[in-house]
Structure 1
Amino acid sequence: MNKRYIYTICLAGCLLLTTSCEKFLVQDHPTSVYDELWWNTSADAELGLYRGYVGIPDGLSGRQIMFLDALSDQLVARQSTRGEYEAYVRGIQASDWDKANHIYMDNYKTIRRVNRLLENIDRVYMDEWLRERYILEARALRAYYHMELLMLFGGVPIVKTALSPDNSKMQRNTEEEVYAFAMSEFRDCAEKLPAKYDFADRTRITSGIVLSLMTRLALFFHDYEAAKDASLKVIEGGEYQLYRSANPANSYADLFRYAGEENNERIFFKDKGNSGAFKAIGMPSEGGQSVLSPTAAIVDAYQLKDGRNLSELPADSVALFHRDPNHKDMRDPRLKASILLVGDTFLSSTLNPFDNSGINANRLGNQYATVTGYWVKKYLDERDKESTASTRILDFMIIRYAEVLLSYAEALVELGEWDHPDVLYYVNMVRNRASMPNITLEKYDSQEKMRQLIRQERTVELAFEGVHYYDIRRWGTWKDVMNGTVYGAVDPETGQKIEVETRTTNGNRSYWWPIPEVEMLSNPNMEQNPGY
């Protein structure tokens, strides 16, 4: 049997910390090649490193980053074949919750792959400069997977070796210990990794990716000084810029379509990471399944083009924009670029979920129809309707430059520097790209007002990108927005927003995800999160 094939079988089959796969913990295949015989050439090392990159999540398939915002007030998810997101928002998720099990096991499986490379790469015959770079990439990947586990589960075991059955029963490290480990690894790698690669290696870990990950992690744990320093280094590095299309008015919309796929705004992205997008968010009249539906809360978050919020308008105007959210095209253009509204046209379909006359595949209540009366437009490209195995798949951006700019501004505000010139400069840079007017200190004349503005700006700029779920938790607003009734579009017959579902966070229980049941059963040293 081919050695490389054996290695691939091993990596695909291995699950960390489960007794059923113990042989895979110490050799590549139960009856074949051991590590001592595998690691010989640079090609072996390259394949080993590649397996560490496999764990980077997709947007609407696999780990489904966009679906994280279905655990926030932005989206509602349906169809349990995609995961039991409804269980979480109803507060009834348990230690057998499929999403927690998937991400926990997948991350630790990939961490083990990376550790195997780090433990064996010194025996490989290869150029020293390349060996050093592979080691840095692997360490950064390992830190990223620990970071994701930390931000979902809290303190988890820090795993720096390819565990064997004899030492696999590890205890949890504290949140502080995992945070310190990830930040230390990121910091060291950021200093030594290249700032960029050629096109063929465009998805490899760079110093900019590492600094951007540091920024996100530091913000989550309110380490605003570290977030400010890391994000400023990305800005000053000069490698990234906000995307602008040939028609500036289309810049934001094109960023999430094939028209703008090759851009300098994307920092950390998954190559072809948008597989299955049309089926997940498209409407049934065009062959989609509308698994994700935007809520009224996110629709209402967009300002008017003149910079006013709905809350600043008289009651009759608010009611008008509830009935017709983009009345006379008066709203922030990012609304139209991100969400399909009642009456909009997509391909050959005029979308009206309240039309009960004749055949209407998109009617509320129909199988695969929207449950809120709205559809996700971001990352929905008409070309994907006819996609086949041979066609192109859109990349998915995990972190883009606009997020870094807003994170830098937020860190300044939280450090008390709310009136720092950079806050206005970079927030306005993001807003102007979307054809929105400048904010001024005349209106946002306090730390609290600027804080709320930046939070709103993150909410609409980064909608459905898997960022908002982390944001509402670190802001401390998640209990407020994740309890109570979820509303959708206004029903023209009743004049009221439709009620979609009732959500419950069960107090602090839902802040951290449950440690998977399989881990609790196989590891007597593991402690469960409170409430599970």
Structure 2
Amino acid sequence: MRKSLFIILGAYIVLSSCSKTSGFLDTSAPALDEAQTFTDSLRTMQFLNGIYAEGNAGETSYAGIGFSFNKRRWETHGNWETSADDAEYSLSSATRPSVMFYQGTFSPANYGSSPKATDIWATPYRNIRRCNVLLKNIDRGPLTNVTKNRMRGEARCLRAWYYLQLLIVYGGVPNVGDSVYGIEDFIDLPRQNFAEFVTYLSNELDQAMQLLPAPNAAPPAGYQDADFGRVTKGTAMGLKSRLLLYAASPLFNGGAIPAANAQQKAIVSYPEYNVSRWQAAADAADAVINSGYYSLNVNTAKPGLGFYEVFLTRANKEYIFMVTRPNNKDFESYYLPGTRSGQNYSRPTQDVVDAFPMLNGKAINDPASGYNPNNPYVKRDPRFNYSIIFNGSRYQSNSNVQDFVWTFTGTGSNGDAFSSGGNTGYFCRKMCDSTITNNVGASPTRNWPLMRYAEILLNYAEAINETGRTDLSYPKLRELRERAGIEPGADNNYGMKANMTQAEMRAFIQNERRIELAFEDQRWHDIRRWKIAMSLYNGGPNGFNRVMHPIRVGSAGSLATGVGLTFTYQVENNIRQHVFRPEMYLLPIMDEEIRKMPSMIQNPGW
């Protein structure tokens, strides 16, 4: 019986715009065989472009590097974001992948329906095969050696990216190396041990670094403007930082999930804990920092403005890896309330709202923070105002004026009224342009952020704290909080407690990462690698998405001006309970894949 894990060459996608404004991923072309493709320099380059993105026809086009980040990943309106504790999904069908992941109803036999979430496994392997096809054939075409070596670096970096998506979800997986399998081949590969897999990916990224141009390199050593968005040496360095951080984390550093035997344990994690893995992660992040390639996007004209603008600026020094996009309203369409012609599929939860500190940098449960539960949105961390639309926010309307968004109980004049069980009392503002709606205004020039320099600062702070050098975490966190617009305070600590213990710093960094990287395809993976999902999701009120229930007091005041309006705020739980079991820290490999390759061992507990 023939079994195949990988899709054959088939139709390759041509994505070859030469416009700096949209990068190099724009159009498509018909299928060609390997000889026709790789004996032609343009077609070879177009094949490489196809590894970044599969096409540009509708919302299903980004099953390339941005497949996991894609806000419309499953059924055009769901992804990991709506499976974690930062966002409430607007839909509730029990067979939707997002719902199955937060309710814990998925299994090796059931990854959802219409469609199943098979892209978790299939998309990386499909693109890994494409990388291997390119590496196998790169010498057939009339390209210069400089160009060929650069393309080898791109393929190795992209292959490592796709493998990293698998490692984060499953642990060790089958490693095909440079092999290219066809539909007639019998494939029965075992899963690679976790330690060997991490070493392989780290070495691949090191080799890619040697072949790729620096992000600040000018032609001919660097990229032309038309190549904007391609991976660089800095991208490979950033991916190594993320790889080693995950490898050092509790889920993987020491066999944290009970396994049936030593073989299974070695596949899903390092069998024993070693603090040196945290040092390796800190060193990888420090290498990115010291390279000088990247910096935070800063604008001192208004607190937090640099944070807001980074997502509305296509080319900036904070982006390490991104999906290049034409001018778009991707986020306005997905996040905004109906009064702004948005679909609000993903709605921030009370828990993520409460995670944002005050303007003085202190947590809202700190008596010195100045937090007022009867006026909860004043003097908050500026990132809060650029991430969350809350009751009484002013936001561009379809009448092309800044107007209020009301989410209080009852019927608001603009139709954003709170609805029990469905709305959380909030809408997402992050990555949106607050001067437009989904119907009004020009589409912004922006990309999808897959990795930012802010993540590298957080990676370093987390890793160095775990080595016992908590003092070295502070400078990187100060950089982030200063850019955020938080007040420095008399001690210039931006609200951070001085001389934190390692445990205190760990909790602080986890919260800082949550708010800085909110809605950027990080939270679901973070709460698993930290092994905190069980305590977040199960038992008591924390098992539910908490809701700030704004209640209008009296009938005085004007909805048109906001003057004279007063509210009380009641925190309560809605009906949507999250369920998390120990085996869910790693997802199961689908039964259909296990049947194809019996040598694969299933993950523990499944």
Question: Common fold, TM-score beyond 0.5?
Answer: yes
Q: Does 1:431 align with 2:481?
A: yes
Q: Which runs of 4+ in 1 moved over 6 A?
A: 63-66
Provide the residue aligned with 2:207 in structure 1. Answer: 188
Give the C-alpha shift of residue 149 in structure 1.
0.7
- Answer yes or no: is the 8 Å Cα contact 2:296–2:483 preserved in 1: yes
Give the C-alpha shift of residue 77 in structure 1.
1.7
Provide the residue aligned with 2:431 in structure 1. Answer: 379
Match for residue 79 of structure 1 among 76, 91, 95: 91
Q: Distance in 2 between matches of 1:510 and 1:476?
A: 10
Cα deviation 1:71-123 (Å, max 9, x = unaligned): 32211223369952121111111233146412211111111111111111122
Q: Distance in 1 between matches of 2:536 and 2:363?
A: 18
Secondary structure of the residue aligned to 1:397 is strand
Q: 1:62 to 1:507 in 2, by over 3 A?
A: closer
Match for residue 342 of structure 1 among 366, 391, 400: 391
- Answer yes or no: is the 8 Å Cα contact 2:39–2:141 preserved in 1: yes
Alignment of 1:28-43 (within 5 A): 34-43=33-42
Q: Distance in 2 between matches of 1:173 and 1:183?
A: 14
Identity of aligned residues (%): 28
- Answer yes or no: is the 8 Å Cα contact 1:337–1:377 preserved in 2: yes
Q: Does 1:462 align with 2:512?
A: no
Q: Distance in 1 between matches of 2:78 and 2:412?
A: 34
Alignment of 1:45-444 (within 5 A): 45-54=44-53, 55-57=64-66, 58-62=69-73, 67-79=79-91, 83-95=96-108, 96-98=110-112, 100-160=117-177, 161-164=179-182, 165-196=184-215, 197-222=223-248, 223-245=277-299, 247-258=301-312, 260-272=313-325, 276-313=330-367, 320-321=372-373, 323-326=374-377, 329-348=378-397, 349-357=403-411, 361-365=415-419, 371-381=423-433, 382-383=435-436, 385-386=438-439, 394-420=446-472, 423-436=473-486, 437=488, 438-439=492-493, 443-444=498-499
Provide the residue aligned with 1:9 in structure 2. Answer: none
Q: Distance in 1 between matches of 2:238 and 2:550?
A: 42
Give the C-alpha shift of residue 504 in structure 1.
4.2
Equivalent position amino acid for 2:464 in 1: L
Give the C-alpha shift of residue 249 in structure 1.
2.2
- Answer yes or no: is the 8 Å Cα contact 1:78–1:86 preserved in 2: no
Q: 1:314 to 1:445 in 2, by over 3 A?
A: closer
Q: 1:183 to 1:335 in 2, by over 3 A?
A: same
Q: 1:444 to 1:134 in 2, by over 3 A?
A: same
Give the C-alpha shift of residue 184 in structure 1.
1.4
Q: Distance in 1 between matches of 2:324 and 2:8?
A: 32
Equivalent position amino acid for 2:40 in 1: T
Secondary structure of the residue aligned to 1:466 is coil
Number of aligned positions between the proteins: 501
Q: 1:16 to 1:226 in 2, by over 3 A?
A: farther
- Answer yes or no: is the 8 Å Cα contact 2:72–2:78 preserved in 1: no
Q: 1:22 to 1:314 in 2, by over 3 A?
A: closer
- Answer yes or no: is the 8 Å Cα contact 1:291–1:370 preserved in 2: no
Equivalent position amino acid for 1:224 in 2: W
Gaps of 5+ in 2: 13-30, 54-63, 216-222, 249-276, 398-402, 553-567
Match for residue 472 of structure 1 among 512, 527, 531: 527
Q: Distance in 2 between matches of 1:492 and 1:17?
A: 55
Secondary structure of the residue aligned to 1:492 is strand
Which of 1 and 2 has higher RCO (CA within 8 Å, sep 6+)? 1
Give the C-alpha shift of residue 214 in structure 1.
1.0
Q: 1:387 to 1:185 in 2, by over 3 A?
A: farther
Secondary structure of the residue aligned to 2:582 is coil
Q: Does 1:492 align with 2:551?
A: yes
Equivalent position amino acid for 1:343 in 2: G
Give the C-alpha shift of residue 261 in structure 1.
3.7
CA RMSD of aligned residues (A): 3.1
Q: Distance in 2 between matches of 1:444 and 1:452?
A: 14
Equivalent position amino acid for 1:297 in 2: D
Q: Which moved more, 1:374-383 or 1:76-85?
A: 76-85
Indicate the structure with greater helix content: 1
Provide the residue aligned with 2:257 in structure 1. Answer: none
- Answer yes or no: is the 8 Å Cα contact 2:347–2:428 preserved in 1: yes
Equivalent position amino acid for 2:493 in 1: I
Q: 1:210 to 1:339 in 2, by over 3 A?
A: same
Secondary structure of the residue aligned to 1:218 is helix
Give the C-alpha shift of residue 245 in structure 1.
2.8
- Answer yes or no: is the 8 Å Cα contact 1:512–1:529 preserved in 2: yes
Q: Distance in 2 between matches of 1:181 and 1:504?
A: 36
Q: Distance in 2 between matches of 1:505 and 1:162?
A: 40
Q: Distance in 1 between matches of 2:127 and 2:579?
A: 30
Secondary structure of the residue aligned to 1:262 is coil
Secondary structure of the residue aligned to 1:431 is helix
